[in-house]
């Protein structure tokens, strides 16, 4: 059968309108936006038009958007550079135990420099406690970084409540919105967000392109050292074609389209659960209830079937899904997200898969996925 891609939380394919913009820009607007002659002015216009589209999508000002190479750079910048810039006010950072590695490893690097980091625990839904956050805050806290939605289980964090909690505190509020941007309604002013990072390739845009929203008046130096691009906030020649393609991907996500995609993906999740239940598969959903999590992500504990066995079986059948673990240098390590949620000895750690939907998926593909999961379960269990 044809390959069915169901790992859209990892990356998404560029859609044709985005590809068309990217190719057109590469052909016709390849100048350096920092130069003063015609080619440069043309590229600068494209760059600023793209910045405006993206700023509007989160209720920000154009000059609060800094183009980056993606979510990791945005996270690194917001955490490392802010921590250093505000060290005289305190050296305490608060984050969660289930953040993306771009956040966690930034925090670990700061710990090695003498900063103090509180990693908020999560419950079995993958949710932090606002009480825990309140108790962790002190007069040395300068940054709170909580992801908008988890990339493995889809749990949505209480971003607006966190923002409101920090209004009268010196700590700046950063959120990694990589998995939420494009589907969630985001307003940085309403939600009192100071810093927000995301990535184009999660919304059918190009890789190596993203942005960091930094509220006006927040002063800290660029992580990337060099020229004075992005009004001295991010060195390096701007990737104008990718910025334009990113803006095109954003422009396609009208409120109606976001709602359509959300309902479509939610329907896929319910159909997958219905089919597995119908065939008597022993499974459970990891994380928040289906209707409360991000609509495109479902993490399933297929009881009694090792993750690698299920993932390999589906791969051979033509389905691309993610395991509940990450492979690093050939060594399979437990998912830190599932460990934080269920503990290090839970069978969920080694028997879970993540399925994540995108615009190119169909209900027929979901039914075919369910059929193949059933076949693999029955084969493994000898039924």
DSSP string, 180-200: TTTTS---TTTTT-SEEEEEG
Angle between helices 240-252 and 16-28 (to 10 degrees): 150
Query: Measured between alpha carbons, how far is 105 from 168 in angstroms, rounded to an integer?
Result: 28
Same domain for 237 and 368, yes or no, is no
Whether 99 and 116 map to the same domain: the answer is yes
Of 82-96, 156-170, 189-203, 217-231, minimum mean pLDDT range: 217-231
Mind listing the pLDDT tens digit for each residue in 147-160? 999 999 999 999 99
Residues 267 and 208 in one domain: no
Domain of residue 358, CATH code: 3.90.1150.10
Contact 266, 35 (CB under 8 A): no
Residue 2: predicted pLDDT: 59
- Residue 173 DSSP label: E
pLDDT tens sequence across 97-108: 999 999 999 999
Is residue 155 situated within a structural domain? yes
Matching residue, tokens 């709602």: 259
Looking at 284, 316, 327, 363, which residue is catalytic? 327
> Between 1 and 93, where is the model more confident?
93
- For the purposes of burial, counting CB atoms within 10 Å of the CB of 194, is it exposed (0-12), middle (13-18) or buried (19 or more)? buried
Each residue of 109-120: pLDDT tens digit? 999 999 999 999
As a whole number, mean pLDDT of residues 303-327 equals 88
Q: State the residue range of the domain holding 208.
A: 16-252
142 with 92: CB under 8 angstroms?
yes
Phi-psi region of 173 (alpha: psi -120 to 50; beta: other; left: phi over 0): beta
Same domain for 175 and 79: yes
In a domain, 261, yes or no: yes
SS3 assignment, position 320: strand
Residue burial 229-240, b: 16+ Cβ < 10 Å; e: rest: bbeebbebebbb
| Cα–Cα distance, 238 to 34 (Å, whole number) | 8
Last residue of a domain, one of 215, 236, 252: 252
Same domain, 117 and 178: yes
Residue 39 resides in a domain: yes
Give a yes or no: residue 75 inside a domain: yes
Residues 231 and 373 in one domain: no
Helical packing angle, 307-316 and 363-381, nearest 10°: 130
Mutual angle of helices 38-57 and 240-252, in 10-degree steps = 30
Would strands 116-120 and 319-320 be described as parallel, antiparallel, or unpaired? Answer: unpaired
Q: How far apart are CA 186 and CA 201, in angstroms?
A: 18
Q: Is residue 96 part of a domain?
A: yes
Question: Of the candidates 252, 272, 299, which is a domain's last residue?
Answer: 252
In a domain, 6, yes or no: no
Among 307, 312, 288, residue whose Cα is nearest residue 98: 288
Instruction: Identify the burial level of 316 via C-beta atoms within 10 angstroms of its C-beta, where 0-12 means exposed, 13-18 middle and 19 or more buried.
Output: exposed
Cα–Cα distance measured from residue 241 to residue 309, given in angstroms and rounded to the nearest whole number: 41
Identify the sign of the CA torsion 160, 193, 205, 106.
negative
pLDDT score at 323: 86
Question: What are the tokens at 96?
Answer: 């969660």
Pairing of strands 92-96, 116-120: parallel
Q: How many whole angstroms separate alpha carbon 315 and alpha carbon 366?
A: 15
Predicted local confidence at residue 327, as pLDDT: 40
Dist CA 159 CA 166 (whole Å): 11
Contacts of 72 (CB under 8 A, 6+ apart): 100, 102
For residues 184 and 228, state if they share a domain: yes
Q: What is the pLDDT of residue 332?
A: 63
Kindly state the average pLDDT of the residues 66-75: 98
Q: How far is Cα 374 from Cα 383, in angstroms, rounded to an integer?
A: 10
Question: Could you tell me if residue 1 is inside a domain?
Answer: no
Q: Indicate the residue among 235, 252, 269 that finishes a domain.
A: 252
8 part of a folded domain: no
pLDDT at 334: 87
**Quick one: pLDDT at residue 325?**
44
216 shares its domain with 313: no
Mean pLDDT for 318-327 is 75
- On whether both 192 and 245 belong to a single domain, the answer is yes
In the predicted structure, residue 213 carries a pLDDT above the cut 80: yes
Same-domain pairing of 158 and 187 = yes
**pTM score of the predicted model:** 0.95
Query: Do 165 and 267 share a domain, yes or no?
Result: no
Q: How many domains, in total, are found in the chain? A: 2
Separation of alpha carbons 125 and 158, rounded Å:
13
Residue 327 is a catalytic residue: yes
Asked whether residue 71 falls in the same domain as residue 116, the answer is yes
- Asked if 340 contacts 98 with a C-beta cutoff of 8 angstroms, the reply is yes
For 264-288, the pLDDT digits (tens) are: 999 999 999 999 999 999 999 999 9
| Residue 47, pLDDT score | 97
Q: What is the mean pLDDT of the chain?
A: 96
DSSP letter, residue 65: E
CATH number at 232 reads: 3.40.640.10
What angle separates helix 255-278 from helix 363-381, to the nearest 10 degrees? 30
Contact 325, 356 (CB under 8 A): no
Instruction: Give the tens place of pLDDT for each residue, 325-381.
Output: 444 334 467 899 999 999 999 999 999 999 999 999 999 999 999 999 999 999 998
């Amino acid at each position: 059968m044809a390959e069915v891609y169901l790992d859209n939380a990892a990356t998404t394919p560029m859609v044709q309108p985005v590809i068309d913009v990217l190719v057109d820009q590469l052909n016709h607007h390849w100048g350096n936006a920092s130069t003063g002659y015609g080619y440069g002015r043309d590229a600068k216009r494209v760059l600023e038009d793209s910045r405006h589209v993206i700023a509007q999508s989160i209720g920000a000002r154009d000059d609060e958007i800094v183009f980056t190479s993606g979510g990791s750079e945005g996270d690194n910048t917001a955490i490392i550079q802010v921590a250093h810039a505000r060290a005289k006010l305190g050296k305490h950072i608060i984050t969660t135990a289930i953040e993306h590695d771009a956040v966690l490893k930034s925090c670990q690097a700061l710990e090695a420099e003498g900063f103090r980091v509180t990693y908020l625990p999560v419950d079995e839904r993958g949710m932090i406690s606002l009480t825990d956050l309140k108790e962790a805050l002190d007069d040395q806290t300068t940054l709170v970084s909580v992801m908008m939605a988890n990339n493995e289980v889809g749990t949505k964090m209480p971003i607006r409540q966190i923002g409101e909690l920090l209004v009268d505190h010196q700590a700046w509020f950063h959120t990694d919105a990589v998995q939420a941007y494009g589907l969630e309604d985001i307003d940085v002013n309403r939600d009192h967000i100071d810093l927000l990072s995301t990535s184009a390739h999660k919304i059918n845009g190009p890789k190596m392109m993203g942005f960091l929203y930094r509220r006006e008046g927040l002063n800290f130096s660029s992580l990337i050292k060099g020229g004075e691009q992005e009004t001295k906030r991010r060195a390096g020649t701007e990737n104008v074609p990718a910025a334009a393609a990113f803006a095109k991907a954003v422009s396609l996500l009208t409120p109606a389209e976001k709602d359509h995609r959300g309902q479509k993906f939610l329907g896929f999740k319910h159909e997958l659960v219905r089919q597995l239940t119908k065939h008597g598969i022993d499974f459970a959903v990891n994380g928040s209830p289906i209707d409360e999590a991000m609509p495109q992500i479902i993490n399933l504990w297929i009881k009694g079937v090792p993750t690698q066995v299920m993932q390999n079986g589906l791969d051979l059948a033509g389905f691309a899904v993610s395991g509940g673990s990450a492979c690093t240098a050939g060594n399979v390590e437990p998912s830190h997200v599932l460990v934080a949620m269920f503990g290090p000895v839970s069978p969920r750690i080694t028997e879970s898969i993540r399925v994540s939907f995108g615009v190119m998926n169909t209900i027929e593909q979901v039914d075919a996925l369910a059929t193949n999961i059933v076949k693999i379960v029955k084969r493994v269990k000898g039924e």
